[in-house]
Amino acid sequence: MPNTKYPPRYITKMNAVADSISRICITLAAISLVAMTVFYVWLVYGRYVLNDTPTWVEQVSLLLVMVITFLGSAVGVHQHSHLSVVVFRNIVPTSVRNVFVVITDLLMIGFASMMFWYGIQLTKFKWNTLIPLIQVSEGLRSLPLTICGALLFLFSIGHLIRLLTGWDERQDNIDEG
């Protein structure tokens, strides 16, 4: 751990930017969840009360599920609450654990890079096709995947920078013992 009590300014700024992006993602995912709930209430009401099923609800909800899933998983990685299996990493000596943590971050950066790159390709490929019933671009289905890849890349780079500079706060990582 560094000698100072407070992290360097660049770490503080990096954390502030990542936290702001995370809050935006949580807000968008929450709004999407509420909207999807309202749309399904309308679907049930339309189907059983009005006897006129609004067919657009399912297609819009599929788009919203993509937003909720991918933005939520990016936030989970940033906040260290995403599903991870650390049992093996936690039973090895600290020196080996440090290597595993770095490898994990590097693998995540590689995965996020591929997710972003192929997400762009998929979004571009599907952009000129319309989703039936709602007439919006089919590329919107894969856009959350692309955004998630970019966010995972940024968040994982941030984790690695904090780790290598001694300011990592993940609980399952390196301990002094």
pLDDT in tens, 103-159: 989 999 999 999 999 999 999 999 999 999 899 999 999 999 999 999 999 999 999
Binned at pLDDT 50, 70 and 90, residue 173 comes out as low
177 touches 98 (CB < 8 A): no
The answer, yes or no, to whether residue 100 has pLDDT greater than 50, is yes
The answer, yes or no, to whether residue 68 has pLDDT greater than 80, is yes
Q: In the predicted model, what is the mean pLDDT of the chain? A: 89
pLDDT of residue 94: 80
> Both tokens of residue 76?
């989970």
DSSP state of 131: P
Q: What sign does the CA torsion over 20, 23, 25, 31 have? A: negative
Question: Which residue type occupies 70?
Answer: F
Note the pTM of the prediction, 2 decimals.
0.86
DSSP state of 51: S
Q: Who wins on pLDDT, 110 or 87?
A: 110
